[in-house]
């Protein structure tokens, strides 16, 4: 839609499936307001009572800052792991045929369907010192449960579909001839992947990884059971919000939440802008 | 660079149930432009991809592929020094036209890679050759189909391949652009003197462009010949039928007369069922039957476009319509109109003894007996 011409009603001659532009836009905006904007406004409203100094004091408290670092670090590790394995999974799902492919494909959505708390409890049981994996890893000196590794693992589990599901359709669109063309021109496998395939997948991969990262920043249920929640060490920011809420410190909770929210929004916006530029080039138009 | 194929076969599917290519041999000379012609599923694209190294031939029986003296059977596509042009161009959409053409040069191992100045000069020379210099900075999505295919050609020629392979290169383009690119490819081929093999299902394209045509069906080579020889002396019924429009005259011969419903036609053939084949230009039309031929037909469609008038004919005794081409002069003399009842007079006919296998053909000229 062109921003310049913004008529509130469509000309009669051009009938659309959905009735009236004015009506459908109105309903859309109402929905967005109720479901998305209203809670956000509430959040910001909570902060109105705070002075800037108070706000800063809450969000820069040592324990909270430690939780930012834990969350960001674990989310970054989870996002990188997901970028690599998500790309591999998408590649396998698109490029190869094997028995059980449909099942694996369906399995990709499991983290979306499964309540995150269930995932968290399962992971915690599995990786605790008495669990299967925990027992197997203990002799190697690897501790997963109640460390940041466990946090990253839980985050990776809940956010892997973002990468797979954004990369998959792009990969399906990419004709196999492209690899063949690169090889016929003498490119080694690695070079062909880096210079021909990856640039095509790059926008989708970055978007998927970005979404996975943002999702991990706000993850609560899955992480909380495996994190151990030791102050200054394995506390995540969502937990800090939860703790504030339990202390009936709504303003404090809102202040910390606003930091998470702002970070996520800025990231999403940046991804969108960057992706738009890239896509325009692939599909023609003035690059 | 000559190409020599020996005992090349290809089977697909589990246990090799589906045969794509029966074991075949093929020799292509240095500097030739060869067309692989056949209907879809005839194995022509598979053969081209095997020559390129994009697909591997069967291990059993062991075949060999030679480029000149070099055995390339086990060589990866990237080491075969070929140029490959895809039907749908397969351009790198995220690169400019310039970067697409330069790709092959920039991915060379550093020691062999030309200097960046030389790469630039070579790419510009190639773009000049395909007349796309002013579009060097564009992205493929901003080009027309014909321009994209020209970029793809320039890209495949950047490494100066010994062999250029083209998979239905003009298949996705409209008729006019196709004609233009065809002429241009022929010109390029003559100028640069590489060996080219292209795949097509369009007989006109194959006959117009190739030095020799390889006609394929069902994974087998039916005939290899120059376009003239192919059209004049088709090896078998398949080749004859594939290389142009064909009219069938099927019937029972008894005592030197072929009958089919109320149609009669004198032939000097032994008794038995017969299926004679006629090209459209071998069918004459007249208002009265002859002693030797009584083939009543009705005109169902007329297309007066081109050097000759194409007339579609139908009759009770014909399973499918016939196509005849008549000169404009005859068209006016007979005052042809749709629904008109006429008599067909075969000037020539062809007969292939055994359906597809045998090469025994009979061609009879009946012009003398029909001459007015």
* B86/A180 touch (CB, cutoff 8 Å), yes or no: yes
pLDDT digits (tens, 9 = 90+) for A109-133: 998 888 888 988 999 899 988 888 8
Q: Give Cα separations from B226 to A102, B45, B182, B206 (angstroms).
A: 51, 20, 18, 10
Element (H, E) at A191: helix A189-192
pLDDT digits (tens, 9 = 90+) for B289-342: 888 889 999 999 999 888 889 999 999 888 889 999 989 888 888 888 898 899
Q: How far apart are CA B326 and CA B282, in angstroms?
A: 9
Largest Cα–Cα separation, chain A: 75
Place of tokens 């992947």: A193
Q: Check: pTM over 0.80? Answer yes or no.
A: no
pLDDT category, A135, cuts 50, 70, 90? confident
> What 3-state class would DSSP assign to B272?
strand
Interface check B104 vs A, CB under 8 A: yes
pLDDT digits (tens, 9 = 90+) for B117-171: 999 999 999 999 888 999 999 999 999 999 999 999 999 999 999 899 999 998 8
DSSP assignment string, A271-284: HHHHHHHHHHHHT-
Nearest by Cα to A117 from A191, A196, A219? A219
Interface check B86 vs A, CB under 8 A: yes
Q: Is B186 exposed, middle or buried (0-12, 13-18, 19+ CB in 10 A)?
A: middle
Q: Which chain B residues contact residue A183 at CB under 8 A? A: 54, 76-78
pLDDT at residue number A14: 58
Best residue in B81, B92, B149 for a mutation probing chain A (most A CBs within 10 Å) = B92
pLDDT higher than 70, residue A286? no
Q: Which chain A residues contact residue B76 at CB under 8 A? A: 183
Question: Min CA distance, B167 vs chain A (Å)?
Answer: 11
Average pLDDT for residues B270-284, to the nearest whole number?
A: 89
Q: How far apart are CA B167 and CA B165, in angstroms?
A: 7
Q: Of B86, B142, B158, which is closest to A181 when you measure between CB atoms?
A: B86
Q: How far apart are CA A199 and CA A78, in angstroms?
A: 22
pLDDT at residue number B43: 92
Question: Min CA distance, A208 vs chain B (Å)?
Answer: 19
- What ipTM score was computed for the predicted complex, to two decimals? 0.80
Q: How far apart are CA B170 and CA A195, in angstroms?
A: 27
CA end-to-end span of chain A, whole Å?
19
Q: How far apart are CA A183 and CA A187, in angstroms?
A: 5
Strand order in the sheet with B322-327: B283-286, B341-346, B296-303, B308-314, B322-327
Quick one: residue B14, left, alpha or beta (phi over 0 = left, psi -120 to 50 = alpha)?
A: beta
Q: Of B83, B95, B142, which is closest to A284 when you measure between CB atoms?
A: B142
Q: How far apart are CA A159 and CA A156, in angstroms?
A: 5
Nearest by Cα to A107 from A89, A95, A125? A89
pLDDT at residue number A142: 82
Burial call B261-289: b when 16+ CB within 10 Å, e when fewer: eebbbbbeeeeeebebbbbbbbbbbbeeb
pLDDT digits (tens, 9 = 90+) for A47-92: 888 899 999 999 999 999 999 999 999 999 999 999 999 999 999 9
Q: How far apart are CA A139 and CA B123, in angstroms?
A: 60
Q: Of B77, B88, B139, which is closest to A184 when you measure between CB atoms?
A: B77
pLDDT digits (tens, 9 = 90+) for A247-270: 999 999 999 999 999 999 999 999
Q: Of B77, B82, B94, which is closest to A199 when you measure between CB atoms?
A: B94
The tokens describing A270, both together, are 């940046």
Q: At what angle do helices B116-129 and B97-106 cross, to 10 degrees?
A: 130
What are the start-end ranges of the H helices in B32-78?
Answer: 44-52
């Amino acid at each position: 839609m062109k921003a310049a011409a913004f008529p509130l009603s469509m000309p009669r001659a051009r009938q659309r499936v959905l009735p009236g532009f004015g009506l459908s836009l109105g309903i859309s905006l109402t929905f967005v307001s109720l479901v998305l904007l209203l809670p956000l406004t509430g959040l910001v409203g909570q902060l109105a009572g705070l002075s800037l100094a108070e706000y800063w004091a809450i969000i820069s408290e040592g324990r909270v800052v430690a939780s930012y670092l834990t969350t960001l670090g674990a989310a970054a590790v989870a996002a990188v792991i997901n970028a690599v394995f998500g790309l591999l999974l998408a590649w396998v799902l698109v490029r190869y045929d094997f028995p059980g492919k449909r099942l694996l494909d369906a399995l990709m959505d499991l983290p979306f369907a499964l309540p995150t708390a269930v995932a968290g409890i399962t992971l915690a049981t599995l990786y605790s010192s008495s669990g299967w994996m925990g027992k197997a890893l203990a002799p190697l000196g690897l501790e997963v449960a109640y460390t940041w590794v466990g946090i990253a693992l839980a985050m990776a589990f809940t956010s892997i579909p973002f990468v797979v599901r954004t990369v998959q359709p792009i990969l399906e669109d990419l004709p196999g001839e492209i690899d063949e063309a690169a090889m016929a021109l003498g490119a080694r496998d690695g070079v062909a992947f880096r210079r021909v395939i990856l640039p095509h997948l790059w926008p989708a991969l970055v978007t998927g990884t970005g979404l996975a990262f943002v999702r991990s920043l706000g993850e609560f249920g899955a992480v909380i059971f495996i994190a151990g929640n030791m102050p200054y060490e394995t506390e995540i920011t969502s937990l800090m919000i939860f703790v504030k809420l339990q202390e009936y410190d709504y303003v404090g909770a809102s202040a910390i939440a606003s930091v998470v929210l702002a970070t996520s929004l800025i990231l999403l916006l940046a991804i969108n802008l960057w992706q738009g530029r890239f896509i325009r080039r692939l599909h023609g138009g003035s690059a | 660079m000559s190409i020599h194929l020996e005992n090349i076969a290809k089977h697909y599917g589990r246990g090799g149930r589906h045969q794509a290519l029966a074991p075949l041999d093929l020799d292509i000379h240095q500097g030739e432009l060869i067309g692989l012609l056949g209907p879809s599923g005839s194995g022509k694209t598979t053969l081209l991809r095997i020559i390129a190294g994009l697909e591997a031939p069967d291990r059993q029986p062991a075949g060999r592929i030679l480029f000149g003296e070099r055995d390339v059977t086990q060589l990866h596509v990237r080491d075969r020094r070929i140029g490959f042009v895809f039907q749908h161009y397969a351009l790198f959409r995220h690169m400019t036209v310039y970067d697409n053409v330069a790709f092959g040069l920039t991915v060379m191992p550093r020691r062999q890679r030309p200097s960046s100045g030389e790469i630039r000069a070579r790419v510009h020379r190639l773009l000049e050759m395909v007349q796309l210099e002013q579009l060097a900075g564009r992205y493929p999505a901003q080009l027309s189909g014909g321009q994209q295919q020209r970029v793809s050609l320039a890209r495949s020629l950047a490494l100066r391949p010994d062999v250029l392979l083209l998979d239905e290169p003009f298949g996705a383009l409209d008729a006019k652009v196709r004609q233009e690119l065809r002429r241009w490819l022929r010109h390029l081929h003559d100028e640069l003197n590489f060996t080219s093999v292209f795949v097509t299902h369009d007989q006109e394209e194959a006959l117009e462009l190739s030095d020799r045509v390889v006609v394929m069906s069902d994974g087998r080579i039916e005939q290899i010949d120059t376009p003239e020889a192919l059209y004049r002396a088709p090896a078998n019924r398949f080749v004859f039928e594939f290389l142009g429009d064909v009219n069938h005259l099927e019937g029972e011969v008894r005592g030197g007369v072929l009958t089919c419903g109320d149609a009669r036609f004198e032939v000097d053939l032994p008794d038995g069922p017969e299926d004679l084949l006629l090209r459209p230009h071998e069918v004459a039309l007249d208002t009265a039957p002859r002693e030797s031929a009584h083939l009543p037909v009705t005109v169902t469609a007329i297309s007066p476009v081109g050097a000759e008038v194409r007339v579609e004919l139908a009759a009770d005794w014909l399973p499918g319509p016939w196509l005849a081409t008549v000169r404009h002069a005859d068209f006016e003399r007979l005052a042809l109109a749709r629904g008109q009842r006429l008599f067909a007079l075969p000037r020539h006919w062809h007969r292939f003894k055994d359906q597809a296998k045998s090469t025994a053909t009979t061609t009879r000229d009946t012009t003398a007996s029909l001459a007015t």
